Structure 1
Amino acid sequence: MSLKDDPKFNTVWVPESHPQTTQSAVRFVPVTMNGAVVGYLWAAVTDDAARYVAREDSGDAGFNAGVAWVQRLRWAKANGVTPLQALRHWAGHEEDPRAGRVDPDSEQECPSLRALEELAAG
């Protein structure tokens, strides 16, 4: 291999994460940055699924917040925190420069993940 060749990366280990899809209703909280909603953190009502969905109009801030939320959800899974507990765990904390903020008492419910994705699409 020379410096002109593209490097090849092999994933050695990735922390376990929750499933990223569900057929059940979802509970969600808006994730804000500087007062603007950049995405939604959700947890399935009836199973072990959880994920962050960026708002389409949030640009790089919404996308980058997703990276931080994936890390937080992996931490939750590794520490035995259920998806619904994780949804509530960060509520009320100060705004994180990458992850944003979840306001307390902002939890809502959508009948499906698809409905939440449509909300994020604007």
Structure 2
Amino acid sequence: MSSEEPVTSRFEENLQFKQVAGPERYSVTTDGPVVYLSIADPTGAVIGYIWANDEDDAAGWVVPPGLSANAVNAGGRWVRALGAGKDRQLAPTALLTELARGVNDGKQSHAVPGSLSEVPTLAVLREQASGVAKVS
């Protein structure tokens, strides 16, 4: 007879996560074109891109690789702006237009003036983020 106790079957089940409540969020994926805004730290180094696509009600934050902890933390302000925009039921590109006017700028980061642009896909933006250059 074995000294091991049998495992209860409920511990062997694969549990499925199903969110039943919580704040609404923009979708984080799209196959369509995305409008984006460059976000920089006080030195002008790009710390991320906030992007949007109205067709899929999608928006998100893309971060270049290799950022310092302070730069990553400064991006939190922009991620929170996405949640606030959805709470106010703004279309994703309307939120970007608002952010481009500097309404979310702070001491640690700011929207780069005149950087509102468009790329054909989110994948192109992610590729662009991997080769970030300093802007003012």
How large is the Cα RMSD of the aligned pairs?
Answer: 2.1
Hey, what's the Cα distance between the residues in 1 that align with 2:71 and 2:121?
21
Residue 107 of structure 2, aligned match among 91, 97, 103:
97
In structure 2, do the counterparts of structure 1 residues 48 and 62 end up closer, same or farther at CA, with 3 Å as the change threshold?
A: farther
Residue 50 of structure 1, CA deviation: 0.2
1:64-79 mapped onto 2 (5 Å cutoff): 64-79=73-88
For residue 15 of structure 1, what is the aligned residue in structure 2? 23
SS in 1 for 2:35: strand
Match of 2:124 among 115, 118, 121: 115
Q: Distance in 2 between the 1:109 and 1:31 partners?
A: 15
Q: Which structure's CA Rg is the greater one?
A: 2
Cα gap change, 1:70 to 1:91, in 2 (>3 Å): same
- CA shift digits 1:31-55 (9 cap, x unpaired): 0111111110100153200001111
Rounded to whole Å, the distance in 2 between the matches of 1:97 and 1:15 is: 28
How far apart are residue 56 of structure 1 and its match? Answer: 1.1
Correspondence 1:39-78 to 2 at 5 A: 39-78=48-87
Matched length: 110
Distance in 2 (CA, whole Å) between partners of 1:86 and 1:29 is: 11
**1:55-100 Cα distance to aligned partner (Å, 9 max, x none):** 11333244223322221111110111110011111223273135x2
Runs of 4+ deviating beyond 4 Å: none
Partner of 1:82: 91
TM-score between the two structures when normalised by the length of structure 2: 0.71
Runs of at least 5 residues in structure 2 that lack an aligned partner in the other structure: 1-20, 132-136
Aligned partner of residue 47 in structure 2, secondary structure: strand
CA distance in 1, matches of 2:23, 2:77: 14
